[in-house]
Amino acid sequence: MPSVLPDGIPAPSDGVLPVSARVGAHTRNFGVYVHIPFCRVRCGYCDFNTYTAEELRGAARSDFVSLAEGELSFAQRALAASGIPERSVNTVFFGGGTPTLLPAEDLVRILDTIRDQWGMIPGAEITTEANPDSVDRDYLQQLYDGGFTRVSFGMQSAVPHVLATLDRTHNPERVPLVVQWAREVGLGVSLDLIYGTPGESLGDWHTSVLAALACQPDHISAYALIVEEGTKLAGQIRRGVYPEPDDDLHADMYELVDRLLGDAGFEWYEISNWAQTLTDRSRHNLSYWTGEDWWGVGPGAHSHVGGVRWWNVKHPSPYADRINAGISPAAAREILDEETRRVESVLLRLRLAEGLPTTQLTSEGRLAVAGLIADGLLDPGSALRGEVVPTLRGRLLADTVVHRLLAETAD
């Protein structure tokens, strides 16, 4: 998650949600996100909420399990006090940071707590992010034995000079190895790639995508590099060490990865995500785009329950203080009204291959559909079936499409 928190309204210290959050709760899935805010080194492009120190005041790495357990137990109380019916967990996702910097038994213990507290649906999806150089076969085996079903490796690139620019320290040759181990122990595997790193050519990107495919994962995410303010990379670009990112090159790279993955039997299901089969899609990530409920555990983690979004304080020390005091770690929250929820739904579902039902558009929005089809931005076949699905060009211009669907053009 980005390190800059949005503006919101104060969140109550008991974490109790407004009555509106209850409406339809039993129809929504429930998931848990666990944010592990530690990394061995900070990468130059990264603005995520993560820390490299072993010991932060009151929030050492070794204390993290008990803090996570503390928040989970707080979550159970707050949801119950809000009148939200208890639901079994559909998906769990460990992200960071580098979750695998913690011993595997720590991750398993947190997962056990979640299971003990709420129960899991059969076939629940349990994922962790991992760095190729922070796991071995044994570690992966322990995850599998503890109930994990999926691992997502931060491969980013297979080209050494690109990895160096990103400050990634792993040896690219290790990636096929860890993927093989993960598959051998029985875990589903996703690879994360980044394109558009300064100095990366279309040829470099081609090499990386082929290298990722050669590992035979069942899921690939590919993100355009975003230069976030305040990162080391942003400073380097400002000083002219690296050139500004080029959106046209990004578009070429996106078209290339979409073609290569398509040729290899992958299908896009979200703008930056491709999967081999329907079951390989990340159900946890899909829940973000379809408005399900999830509780985010850990410093800076974001949550959503029934139209209420909140986010925890960022730094691990005040986070630890609040958890230890038994009060909500939320920094602020926002309560979305009907119209805002509709806007979010248009914004998020437009990213999906399953599309947006035209019923969610206003009459002006529906009028805009024909023009968007004419401009080659929406798929005509899906529109006939009552669904708005972007074409390849429309995916790249999703902002424009969203604005036009929300009927927000200049006078």
Partner 1 sequence: MSPRSDNPPIPAATDPAVIRNFCIIAHIDHGKSTLADRMLQTTGVVSDRDMRAQYLDRMDIERERGITIKSQAVRMPWSVAGTDYCLNMIDTPGHVDFTYEVSRSLAACEGALLLVDAAQGIEAQTLANLYLAMENDLAIIPVLNKIDLPAADPDKYAQELANLIGGSPEDVLRVSGKTGVGVEALLNRVTELVPPPVGDPNAPARAMIFDSVYDAYRGVVTYVRMIDGSLSPREKIQMMSTRAVHELLEIGVSSPEPRPSQGLSVGEVGYLITGVKDVRQSKVGDTVTTSNKPATEALPGYTDPKPMVFSGLYPIDGSDYPILREALDKLKLSDAALNYEPETSVALGFGFRVGFLGLLHLEIITERLRREFDLDLIATAPSVIYEVMTDDKKVAIVTNPSEFPGGKIASVREPVVKAAVLAPKDYVGTIMELCQSRRGNLLGMEYLGEDRVELRYSIPLGEIVFDFFDHLKSRTQGYASLDYEPMGDQEADLVKVDILLQGEQVDAFSAIVHRDKAYAYGVLMTERLKNLIPRQQFEVPIQAAIGARIIARESIRAIRKDVLAKCYGGDISRKRKLLEKQKEGKKRMKMVGRVEVPQEAFIAALSGDTESKEKK
Size of the site for partner 1 (CB under 8 A): 53
Q: Binding partner 1 by CB under 8 A: which of 234, 251, 256, 335?
A: 251
Q: What is the DSSP string of 333-365?
A: EEE--HHHHHHHHHHHHTTBTT-EEGGGS-HHH
Rounded to whole angstroms, the Cα distance separating 20 from 16 reads: 12
Rounded to whole angstroms, the Cα distance separating 89 from 91 reads: 6
Taking each continuous run of H as one helix and of E as one strand, the counts in the chain are 15, 14
Closest distance to partner 1 from the beta carbon of 186 (Å): 26
Closest distance to partner 1 from the beta carbon of 97 (Å): 13
Q: Select 104 or 192, whichever has its Cβ closest to partner 1.
A: 192
Closest distance to partner 1 from the beta carbon of 127 (Å): 12
Paired with 220 in beta bridges are 191, 274
Near partner 1 in 296-315, by CB under 8 A: 296, 300-304, 309, 311
Closest distance to partner 1 from the beta carbon of 369 (Å): 15
- Tell me which stretch binds partner 1 (CB under 8 A): 13-21, 115-123, 170-178, 220-228: 220-228
DSSP code of residue 88: -
Closest distance to partner 1 from the beta carbon of 296 (Å): 7
Q: Decide if residue 256 touches partner 1 (CB under 8 A).
A: no
141 within 8 A of 178, measured Cβ to Cβ: no
Closest distance to partner 1 from the beta carbon of 87 (Å): 18
Q: Select 150 or 304, whichever has its Cβ closest to partner 1.
A: 304
Rounded to whole angstroms, the Cα distance separating 113 from 354 reads: 34
Strand 308-312 with 330-335, pairing: antiparallel
* Backbone phi and psi for residue 309, each to the nearest 5 degrees, phi listed first: -110, 135
Q: Select 158 or 286, whichever has its Cβ closest to partner 1.
A: 286
Near partner 1 in 336-395, by CB under 8 A: 340, 343-344, 347-348, 351, 375, 377, 393, 395
Helices (H), 222-375: 232-238, 247-263, 283-289, 316-325, 338-349, 363-374
- Tell me which stretch binds partner 1 (CB under 8 A): 65-73, 183-191, 222-230, 260-268: 222-230
Q: Select 286 or 323, whichever has its Cβ closest to partner 1.
A: 286
Burial-class residue 123 by CB neighbours within 10 Å (0-12, 13-18, 19+).
Answer: exposed
Instruction: Determine the length of the chain.
Output: 411
**Footprint on this chain of partner 1 (rule: CB under 8 A):** 1-2, 4, 6-8, 33, 222-224, 226, 247-248, 250-251, 254, 271-272, 285, 288-289, 294, 296, 300-304, 309, 311, 334, 340, 343-344, 347-348, 351, 375, 377, 393, 395-400, 402-403, 406, 408-411
